Structure 1
Amino acid sequence: MRALGSIRCHWLTAPRPRARSIRRFIDVAQRFELMELYARPVATVISSLQATLVRLAIPLPPKKRALAEFLRLLYLEMANGYKCCLNDLQQQRILWSKKQLVTPSAARALHFLGEALLRSYATYFPTPADIWRDAHALYRFAEETGRLEEIIQAPEGDPGPAQSIGHRYLQILLLAACNPYQLPPAECFTVYSFLARWAGQARLTADVLATSPLSQFLVDLDSDRPPIGYPRSRAPEALPSARRLDAAELAGTVQGFIEHLEKGASVQSLDMGVDCLESACLDLMQRLMRAWGEVVRREHARIKRHGSVLICSGVNALHFFASGQKPFSAPDAETPEPVSEPDANVGATPPSAMPQDNENEEYVALDEPGFQAPPPDPIALVAATSAPPVVPEIFRIDRWQIKDISPRGFLLLHSGEGSASVRVGDLIGVQRAGELEHWSVAAVRWLKSVRDESVDVGVEVLSPRVTPVVVSVDGAGAEGGLRHAPALLLPTMSKLHRPATLVLPRGLRQEGKDLTLHDGDSSSGRGVVVLKMLERTSAFEQFVFAEKSESSAS
């Protein structure tokens, strides 16, 4: 009873008096049965609609945002229904047969709270108010009543395995501890699936003292917040509501996967519990290792600032603007072919280049009797089979507001209905006020939607200066020939002990293929050898390189 004091049984809208009286006298077993009947339809609706939200850039269009909020609300209402069952079971004198519904009700409520949290992270929304307080209360109830290890089947329509309340709670905690707002689009679903298999390797204990802060987190069961990193300078206070999450064994497992993948092992042979390509899986494991296996400390304090910066997004766009808005051309081309038609107005993009919500499309009732499809247009059929025309790439500049600043990056506010969308891992160019001829290179590290059309964007500056160059990749062009592409040369940063690096679009470089680097309009280039990959995101790859003569001499 005490553990459930903070769990509320509320509904989306205030019920009418008669409906409230009906709901008051419904039998708890019937309520539970009704909730079980809802599980499959809810799962079917969400699985069919969720696909339209996968890998969308932020901020979401208004219709997509409303859909994302609706799907999350479905999960919250399912959790509320099972919380009502649990409250009824605790407050009424019930028969022994109905006591068997206590653990399933608590497990179902925690399951749907976890799904609501997962959808919040997937769309970079703030988590709903009191959702963590309810999750902590459900765990504490199961802990105090000895129900943590009872295995409960997943709800009907959910393909997940049978789990205990303790395992589900660890899965939710570890998802929040892996910095979900820093994950690329849709990757939180892969992490959640991975944790369904491996979360049991973490431990939650009331002993809050740890010999090392590495892979340790603190959980406050009385709070409405996720786990926080273990303090480095002082020992935490041993409160009755405090728990320590020990992820050391899990971090060791992740490190083992990294070592096997780097040696060429396949994901299937490792039986990791996730389905992804080897390179993408290696990137994911490295991100999880940084989140669970390292102690990250902010090196510089952030300073509140007001102002704005100009932003362009992508390697090609930054190459274009850093070149003085000169169209890209291959080194051996006689005349440059424009690949961009920049708009003269900052932030303006032709309507044809913007995604549109088809609000005015004519509704066609395909399932109504009497419907006949129109005959095919022969001219349209010929046009459809022809080669599609080459559409010039359009680059744009947006103005973002500065919220705070540090020596290594910015916190920016990205807002406005017409603003370009961004994703975690995107490469952006930053131009500060008074530096009209210079662009800095930065990467989007995290996102969080704060309002309908506003997003907080955490940006790390990779280099204060950039030189646009051209790379030729042997064997990547048509019929195995050369392929020329824009690239970015970042200068040596002696203070950070970082050599000069090369930034390419993701997937351009192929293993074992030579690279030739061209400066400016020079048709003659110099061969380079990749020494080390510094970073790989969904948008770009950054390498340390050396010229072939230097590498052979060394």
Structure 2
Amino acid sequence: MSESHRRLLDLGPAAEKPEAGSGLPRELRKLKTWLGELPWANPDVALDQLQQALVDLATREGVSGADRWAAAEALRGPVLEVIALVSRRFLGVPLPLPPAGVAAARQVEALHRHLADACRRAAGGMCSSNGGLPMLRSGRVVSALERASHHYCEALSVAWATYRTPAHGAWLGLYRTHHFAESVSVADKEPAQPSSEHARTTRTHLVRSLLVALANPYAFDQDDQALLWRLSASYAPLCSLSPAGKDEDGGQWIAPVPVDADRGPGGLVDDPAQWLHLSFAAYQDDVANAIDQYDGDPASVVGLGRGRSLHQVPMSMLQQLRRAFGQRSARRHERLPGGHELEIVIGLAGLHFHLSGRDFDEFVRQAREHVIQVSDRAGWAQSGADAARAPLVRAEVLDQSLGGYRLGVRDEGLVRARVGELVGLSWRQAPTLAGLPRDWLVGVVRWLRYDDGGGVIVGVELLSRRAWPVALQPPSAADQAHSAVRAVELVTAQDEEHERGRFVVSLVDRPSGQVERLALSLAEGEADEEAMALGTVSRAGEYLILDEVAER
């Protein structure tokens, strides 16, 4: 038995054992009768019984490969029907998911994984004892391998769509299925009836999943994830997967891929023989060229892809792809361990309140009247409507770099944050100093991942290490009560030599034309009003980053 064949038949340490009395008939030829007796009127019960049947089918010994394959195909139709019903509980549902939604997602993920296990073992069982393809029946092995790869990909997709870590076994099964298919030279062979119109071979399924993983699916909403899968399928034929050391032309756009491990791409290559290299230069080049072609215009929707059909991709998604590919290819910042706690305020309104120490209406009034009041800042907790929208959330720093933080949060406030949300970060303040001014870092949530315990792990990219509260208004509207819009000025090291930095505003409050900058300089005790024209630099979720447009 070859090593690749042995691995194909071995489901790994995470393989489940069937419960006693799973219901799957001992004689698999009676399977159709058993399926007809399932309680289809109750999807939850039917799902549970189908799951146990798949575990039994995948792990049962003494079953020929042909019989296992026929049973897997007979179960696949009913399983997909139940999946379509149960998926409504978590697809398109606001995050974080309720407990019922989490349970449904995990069950659907398990159904795909167990069905893939059954197909994988069926493929191995139809081969000879040394792993050779059967004479005149190799087509069934190709079909079983492709089917297994498809359902492992679907298991990963469900986990990513619900922003959770994939369950054990999905990556390992996908790698082992591809490794065997490669060893018998059928990884690029299409079956008679492919599982998906987007991916038709074992290799394409693997490369497609690797490309989605490299893009960091936790940084995209569910609709964008669907587009990400289609994009990855389009570029999979253009991305090479080769043994380590044999990809001289890949340049920096290479990701290491383990041959036999239960994790996604990336990591340290210890034994080159146990790693492959994925070159995704074609994908990255097209993304970079599309951004350059439109000068990074946040409002642009760009056609991306090669061949007869192009995918319409918003600029914000293209920029996130370029950021993710760059980080995967070569991290620019060394990550340091954390362990300490930060306090976080979520959203532009809350951040502006903590920076200024007053409600926005009061801030605008004082800026227009050139009034500075620096007294009794500890009274924030009782000051106006903005105070109620500015609670502080505690977060544990898991690790950090110059580019941002990876945070673990249990508080309900940040658990409900979304990708693209603006956040302010500050050191925890001693009780004796409560209410006194402090420095705030400004960041944006780039990705998040929930755990089954109700917490969330958040990736925050730093936008600025200094910030000022400001308001922006048209020059002719200085006397109108509600013309000013809330903004935060970002000040970086490069901006300190200039008069001002960049501004973050809400997407719905985007100012147009000439505006005045209203600010209270608490350090200098004076107000500031300056007119300028602003242009959009980039978009972060529901916020825009604006910069002054130079006069021509």
TM-score bracket relative to the smaller structure: 0.7 to 0.9
Q: CA 1:449–1:44 in 2, change beyond 3 Å: closer, same or farther?
A: closer
Q: Does 1:222 align with 2:260?
A: yes
Deviation at 1:424?
A: 2.5
> SS of the counterpart of 2:541?
coil
- Closer/same/farther in 2, CA of residues 393 and 137 from structure 1, 3 Å limit: same
The 2-side partners of 1:62 and 1:41 are apart by: 22
Report the Cα distance in structure 2 between the residues aligned to 1:459 and 1:403, rounded to whole angstroms: 12
Matching of residue 538 in structure 1 with residue 541 in structure 2: yes
SS across alignment from 1:129:
coil
| Map of 2:108 onto structure 1 | 71
Structure 2 alignment gaps of length 5 or more: 29-61, 370-378
Match of 1:431 among 419, 426, 430: 426
For 2:509 and 2:193, the matched residues in 1 are separated by 42
Report the alpha carbon displacement of residue 189 of structure 1 after superposing the two structures with TM: 2.4
2:229 pairs with 161, 183, 192, which one?
192
Shift of 1:40: 4.2
Q: CA deviation at 1:464?
A: 3.3
| Distance in 1 between residues matched to 2:532 and 2:191, nearest whole Å | 57
Task: Kindly provide the CA deviation profile for residues 457-477 of structure 1, in whole angstroms up to 9, marking residues without a partner as x.
Answer: 23233333322111236999x
Pairing 1:105-254 to 2, within 5 Å after superposition = 105-152=144-191, 160-161=197-198, 163-184=200-221, 186-208=223-245, 210=248, 213-228=251-266, 239-254=272-287
**SS of equivalent to 2:182:** helix
Name the amino acid aligned to 2:78: Y
Distance 1:495 1:515 in 2: 20
| Separation in structure 2 between the aligned mates of residue 133 and residue 323 of structure 1, nearest angstrom | 52
Whether 2:79 is the aligned partner of 1:34: answer no
Aligned to 1:357: none
1:51-66 to 2 correspondences below 5 Å: 51-53=91-93, 56-58=94-96, 60-66=97-103
Matches within 5 A, 1:378-393: none
SS at match of 2:504: strand
Q: Is the 8 A contact 1:444 1:457 kept in 2?
A: yes
How many residues get paired?
A: 479
- Partner Cα separation in structure 2 for residue 168 and residue 43 of structure 1: 20
More deviation, 81-90/132-141: 81-90
Superposition deviation, residue 190 in structure 1: 1.8
Change (3 A) 1:447 1:4: farther
Match of 2:338 among 304, 312, 316: 304
One-letter amino acid matched to 1:131: A
User: What residue in structure 1 maps to residue 493 of structure 2?
Assistant: 493
Residue identity opposite 2:232 in structure 1: L
* Mapping for residues 420-499 of structure 1, pairs under 5 Å: 420-434=415-429, 436-438=436-438, 439-472=440-473, 483-494=483-494
Indicate conservation of the 8 Å contact 1:248/1:293, yes or no. no
Cα distance between partner residues in 2 of 1:473 and 1:82: 65
Residue 285 of structure 1 is matched in structure 2 by 318
Structure 2 Cα separation of the partners of residues 482 and 330 of structure 1: 12
1:78 and 1:514 map into 2 onto residues whose CA distance is 61
Higher mean displacement: 410-419 or 494-503: 494-503
- State the AA in 2 paired with 1:245: L
Deviation at 1:32, TM superposition (A): 3.8
- Separation (CA, whole Å) in 1 of partners of 2:310 and 2:349: 33
Deviation at 1:247, TM superposition (A): 1.2
Conserved? CA contact 1:11–1:80, under 8 Å: no
- Between 1 and 2, higher relative CO (CA 8 Å, sep ≥ 6) is seen in 1
Deviates more, 1:88-97 or 1:130-139: 88-97
Higher helix share: 2
Q: 1:418 deviation in Å?
A: 6.8
Listed one character per residue, the Cα deviations across residues 220-253 of structure 1 (whole Å, up to 9, x for unaligned) are 2022222216x7xxxx677433221111122222
Match of 1:355 in 2: none
Report the 3-state secondary structure (helix = DSSP H, G, I; strand = E; otherwise coil) of the residue aligned with 2:157. helix
Whether the 8 Å CA contact 2:359–2:387 is kept in 1: the answer is: no
Structure 1 Cα separation of the partners of residues 149 and 177 of structure 2: 7
Shift of 1:536: 1.8
Tell me if the contact between 2:254 and 2:279 (Cα under 8 Å) persists in the aligned partners: yes
Deviations 1:463-519 (A, max 9, x none): 33322111236999xxxx985321101224249999611111235336x64433222
Question: Secondary structure of 2:351's match?
Answer: helix
Partners in 1 of 2:415 and 2:244 — Cα distance? 48
Read off the aligned partner of 1:454 and give its amino acid letter: G
Give % identity.
21
Matched, 1:44 2:84: yes
- SS of 2:316's partner is helix
The answer to which of 496-505 and 310-319 deviates more is: 496-505
TM-score with structure 2 setting the length: 0.74
Structure 1 pair 204/532, CA: closer, same or farther in 2 (3 Å)? same
| Distance in 2, Cα, partners of 1:152 & 1:250 | 26
Structure 2: how far apart are the matches of 1:474 and 1:80? Answer: 67
Structure 2 match to 1:383: none
Q: Please tell me whether the aligned partners of residues 208 and 238 of structure 1 are also in contact (alpha carbons under 8 angstroms).
A: no
Deviation at 1:82, TM superposition (A): 1.8
Compute the displacement of 1:116 (Å).
Answer: 1.2
Q: Is residue 411–residue 457 contact of structure 1 (8 Å, CA) maintained in 2?
A: yes
2:241 maps to a residue whose letter is L
Matched with 2:21 is: 16
Instruction: Give the Cα separation in 2 of the matches to 1:61 and 1:81.
Output: 31
- Aligned-partner Cα distance in 2 for 1:495–1:265: 27
SS of the equivalent of 1:297 reads: coil
Structure 1 position 171, deviation (Å): 0.5
Letter in 2 for 1:526: E
Deviation at 1:132, TM superposition (A): 1.6
Q: Counterparts of 1:473 and 1:61 in 2: how far apart (Å)?
A: 44
Could you tell me whether the CA contact under 8 Å between 2:235 and 2:305 is conserved in 1?
Answer: no
RMSD of Structure 2 on Structure 1 (CA)? 4.1
Report the Cα offset of residue 313 of structure 1.
Answer: 0.7
Deviations, residues 87-117 of structure 1 (Å, cap 9, x unaligned): 3323689985654211111111111111111
Please give the TM-score of this superposition, normalised by the length of structure 1: 0.73
Change in 2 beyond 3 A, CA 1:67/1:515: farther
